[in-house]
Amino acid sequence: MSDPVSCDLVIFDCDGVLVDSEVISCRVHAEALTRHGYPITAEEVHARFLGRSARDANLEIERELGRALPAAYDGDRRTALLEALARSVEAIPHAHEALSAIGRRMCVASSGAHDKIFTTLSRAGLYHRFAPHIFSAMQVRASKPAPDLFLLAAAEMAVAPSRCLVVEDSVSGVTAARAAGMGVIGFTGGSHCRPGDDGPLRDAGAGVVIDDMRALPRLVAEYRCPAV
């Protein structure tokens, strides 16, 4: 058995980890569903769908309704969301400084579609730090909590899953990373996070949970991959 080594790749979720977008997304998602005949609050969207793809959310709602959502719904939601994010989303506090201090290769693996990822990262001034190493759940068959997206990111970056460290804010994301055989740091520094959110992330498999990006570079430097 070899000695543990430091990670070769840090994989970031986007929403709620790099950009403070979840409050905006949950509000727009709830408003669009309500307009199209499925009354729901932003808090309920947060509880049910945080970290999951819009595709999976739609399928769950349609199963509950026993019918398809109106044809205009998805386009309406996407247009409203991109407009809201382009107007007001900001980087997570201290994200720029943390990324500059991490001496590892990095990429993004997000449940969002590519146009949403581009919009948020660009508005926050972070897109250039990751492009072209940006992966979306739209590229895989099963989104988080399945491991497919993280395994795709590792494969595209030519790094073994066991040498990857993921930064995630949702239980579904932590679950996906652990299923992929990766280490996970939980993050609860987004404006959508609530007291006690660290507990479910730890229970899902996050080795440590932080609420301040300034703690991340040290944790990445100290992290050791499991011995093989």
Report pTM.
0.88
In this predicted model, what pLDDT tens digit does every residue of 82-122 receive, in sequence order?
A: 999 999 999 999 999 999 999 999 999 999 999 999 999 99
pLDDT at 131 over 80: yes
Residue type, 226: P
* Alpha carbon separation from 192 to 26, 116, 162, 171, 188 (Å, rounded): 9, 18, 30, 14, 8
List, for residues 43-92, the tens digit of each pLDDT value.
Answer: 999 889 887 888 889 999 999 999 999 999 999 999 999 999 999 999 99
Write the DSSP symbol of residue 146: S
Q: Would you say residue 11 has pLDDT above 60? A: yes
22-88, CATH topology level: DNA polymerase; domain 1 (1.10.150)
Check for a shared fold between 9-20+90-222 and 22-88. no
Residue 2's pLDDT is: 46
In the chain, domain spans: 9-20+90-222, 22-88
| Domain 9-20+90-222 listed as CATH 3.40.50.1000 | yes
pLDDT at position 209 over 60: yes
Q: List, in sequence order, every beta strand (DSSP E) within 19-119.
A: 105-110
In 3-state terms the chain splits into helix, strand, coil percentages (rounded to 5) of 50, 15, 40
